[in-house]
């Protein structure tokens, strides 16, 4: 009994620390996105890599891993960080397994770590595809050399796939912030924001002196950012009285649309168009929630969809993370997206439509039956489908609807099927050109069908009222 209690206390500490990490990652992204920015394109970080450039990302990867290890070993005194030759030999000898780390650690901590490896390669001139092997290499090095725990299948998958998607987004947002022609506090804000998003690149710029170099401004490129602050109330969807069972919280979120999906005949590189959503929630009841959602096109081809309309499709990468006491889903996937912008020809209405279909390489879903593997969530593979519709009357309103559906078959945990959905409805009314008010709701629902247990169903809704600031 005592041993079980100690284990429970230790797991609670790990979960709290993981939630703090998750909150810090999301808050850093929100603060960096609020730094001074113009519609700037990606700055040229370096010439094409050659010679020693091929080893510099390895040094960045090793430095990041040593920093993570030293923090765990000397500050947090985590058991897994007391490594040695015996632990390395054991990792090679026993091979890969599924680990039991907390949901935030596996589903956002490892992708963020992988993102550092990816940006380390991008910062010295490697392209998207050339940076992918360094992301995988960094993950392998951590799993085999930097932990006493056996290497993990799920860590390698999420660190690599999630890390590539998250790292590419962070690198491009940092590039959009940087402007060598700026000076004074604006320069400090830009360099600070870029360093917050991509620490390896920011530190490299400080060491090399690039952070202080006066040069030319980068070229123009569309980056649209939406920041929102307001009140959310989470409650079970089946509560009849909206005043009962609610958990009020303060919500802060940001959305970014980078680039254009329109096929203009120019060369298209991976993530020349992507969309990002990030948010955190807090309340006086210690309720905590965080979300991160990324979709980026890897290639793009236009197709006809009527006069005055623009449509395109292409392969995509998707990474998302939703974590609250009421709902947990985190996935890394690849698939295809179709997008279109339509002039409806009546009352100047415009419609944006997007449909995503992807294969989930690995996804995590909360489950009370996963305790058999010392976790509170299952890991599995499957698929996702998402539809986004945005109806706009410029200067009058914007009506936004997003529906995401997930399905996975459990690979490790309580054997069975996991299905979940996130449906968001939102009405935004502009006050001025840059400011608006927004009201809406988000429905979180899931159905678990374990092979050896009773089915699980849950449904929660979050009502939202926000003050919006748009940066064009």
The reply to whether 312 falls in a domain is yes
DSSP designation for 373: G
Residue 459 φ/ψ, nearest 5 degrees: -150, 125
DSSP assignment letter at 159: I
Pair (334, 305) in one structural domain: yes
Q: 381 with 421, same domain?
A: yes
Q: Which two tokens mark 208?
A: 């090399």
Q: What angle do CA 157, 359, 366 make, to 5 degrees?
A: 65
pLDDT higher than 90, residue 318? yes
pLDDT single digits (tens) 375-404: 889 999 999 999 999 999 999 999 999 999
- Mean pLDDT, rounded, for 157-172: 95
The reply to whether 188 falls in a domain is: yes
Q: Which residue has the higher pLDDT, 441 or 53?
A: 441
Distance (Å, rounded) from C-alpha 314 to C-alpha 358? 12
Per-residue confidence (pLDDT) for residue 356, from 0 to 100: 98
What is the rounded average pLDDT of the residues 176-198?
Answer: 88
CATH assignment at residue 345: 2.40.230
As for how many domains the chain has, the answer is 2
Alpha-carbon torsion, ordered 149, 170, 303, 220, to 10 deg = -170
Question: Higher-confidence residue: 338 or 24?
Answer: 338
At residue 260, does pLDDT exceed 70? Answer: yes
pLDDT for position 283: 82
Give the rounded percent of residues in the chain with a pLDDT score beyond 90.
Answer: 57
- Residue 139: CB atoms within 10 A of its CB come to 26
Among 121-135, 217-231, 377-391, which is the least confidently predicted range?
Answer: 217-231
Tell whether 234 and 364 lie within a shared domain: yes
Q: Check the CA dihedral 34-318-351-41 and report its sign.
A: positive
Whether 31 maps to a domain, the answer reads yes
Domain presence at residue 387:
yes
Taking alpha carbons only, the member of 114, 42, 113 closest to residue 269 is 42
Report the C-alpha gap between 306 and 303 in whole angstroms: 9
Instruction: Give the pLDDT score at 15.
Output: 47
pLDDT class of 472 with cuts at 50, 70, 90:
low
Of the residues 161, 181, 212, the one at which a domain ends = 212
In a domain, residue 8? The reply is no
In a domain, 218, yes or no: no
For the segment 98-113, what is each residue's pLDDT rounded down to a tens digit? 988 889 889 999 999 9
Q: Which residues contact 333 (CB under 8 A, 6 or more apart)?
A: 161, 317, 318, 319, 358, 359, 360, 361, 363, 383, 384
Residue 219 lies inside a defined structural domain of this protein: no
| Mean pLDDT for the chain overall | 86
Q: Are residues 240 and 307 in the same domain?
A: yes
Both tokens assigned to 288: 């905590």
Residue 237, pLDDT score: 62
* The domain boundary residue, chosen from 212, 241, 262: 212
408 and 417 Cβ atoms separated by less than 8 Å: yes
pLDDT at 220: 67
Residues 362 and 387 in one domain: yes
> Token pair 């590419």 is at which residue?
168
Residues 186 and 316 reside in one and the same domain: no
Q: State the Cα–Cα distance between residues 114 and 138, nearest whole angstrom.
A: 7
Q: Let me know whether 63 and 199 are in one domain.
A: yes
Which of 154, 181, 212 marks a domain boundary? Answer: 212
Considering the domain architecture, whether residues 166 and 266 belong to the same structural domain is answered as no
Domain limits at 180?
Answer: 14-212
CA distance 157 to 332: 8
As separate numbers, helices (DSSP H) first and strands (DSSP E) second, the chain gives 10, 13
Structure confidence by residue, pLDDT tens digits, 55-88:
889 999 999 999 999 999 999 888 899 999 999 9
In a domain, 363, yes or no: yes
What is the reported pLDDT for 4?
Answer: 36
40 with 68, same domain: the answer is yes
Same domain, 242 and 206: no
Are 282 and 372 members of one domain? yes
The winner for highest mean pLDDT among 185-194, 228-237, 327-336 is: 327-336
Q: Are strands 288-297 and 377-393 parallel, antiparallel or unpaired?
A: unpaired
Same domain, 189 and 290: no
């Amino acid at each position: 009994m005592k041993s079980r209690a100690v284990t429970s206390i230790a797991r609670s500490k790990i979960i709290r620390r993981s939630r703090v990490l998750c909150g810090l990652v999301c808050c850093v992204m929100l603060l960096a996105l609020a730094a001074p920015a113009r519609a700037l394109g990606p700055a040229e970080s370096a010439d094409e890599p050659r010679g020693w450039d091929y080893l510099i990302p390895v040094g960045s990867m090793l430095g990041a891993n040593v920093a993570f290890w030293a923090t765990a070993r000397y500050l947090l005194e985590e058991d897994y960080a007391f490594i040695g030759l015996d632990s390395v030999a054991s990792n090679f000898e026993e091979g890969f397994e599924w680990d039991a780390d907390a949901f935030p650690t596996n589903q956002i901590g490892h992708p963020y770590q992988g993102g550092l490896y990816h940006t380390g390669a991008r910062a010295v001139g490697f392209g998207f595809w050339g940076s992918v092997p360094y992301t995988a290499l960094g993950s392998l090095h951590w799993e085999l050399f930097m932990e006493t725990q056996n290497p993990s299948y799920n860590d390698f998958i999420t660190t690599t796939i999630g890390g590539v998607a998250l790292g590419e987004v962070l690198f491009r947002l940092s590039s959009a912030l940087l402007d060598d022609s700026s000076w004074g506090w604006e320069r400090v804000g830009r360099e600070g924001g870029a360093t917050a998003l991509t620490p390896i690149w920011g530190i490299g710029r400080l060491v090399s002196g690039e952070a202080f170099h006066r040069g030319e401004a980068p070229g123009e490129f569309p980056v649209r950012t939406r920041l929102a602050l307001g009140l959310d109330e989470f409650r079970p969807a089946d509560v009849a009285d909206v005043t009962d069972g609610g958990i009020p919280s303060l919500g802060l979120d940001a959305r970014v649309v980078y680039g254009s999906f329109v096929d203009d005949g120019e060369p298209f590189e991976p993530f020349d168009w992507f969309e990002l959503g990030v948010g955190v929630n807090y309340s006086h009841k210690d309720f905590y929630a965080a979300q991160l959602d990324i979709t980026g096109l890897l290639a793009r081809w236009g197709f006809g969809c009527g006069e005055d309309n623009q449509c395109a499709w292409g392969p995509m990468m998707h990474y998302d993370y939703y974590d609250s006491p009421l709902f947990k889903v985190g996935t890394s996937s690849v698939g295809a997206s179709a997008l279109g912008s339509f002039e409806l020809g009546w009352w100047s209405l415009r419609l944006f439509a997007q449909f995503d279909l992807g294969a989930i390489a690995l996804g995590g879903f909360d489950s009370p039956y996963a305790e058999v593997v010392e976790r509170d969530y299952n890991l599995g593979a499957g698929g996702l489908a998402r539809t986004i519709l945005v109806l706009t009357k410029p200067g009058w309103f914007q009506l936004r609807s997003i529906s995401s559906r997930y399905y996975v078959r459990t690979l490790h945990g309580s054997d069975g099927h996991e299905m979940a959905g996130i449906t968001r409805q939102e009405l935004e009314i502009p006050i001025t050109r840059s400011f608006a008010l927004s009201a809406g709701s988000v429905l979180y629902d899931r159905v678990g069908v374990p092979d050896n247990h009773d089915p699980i169903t849950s449904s929660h809704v979050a009502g939202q009222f926000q003050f919006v600031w748009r940066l064009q």
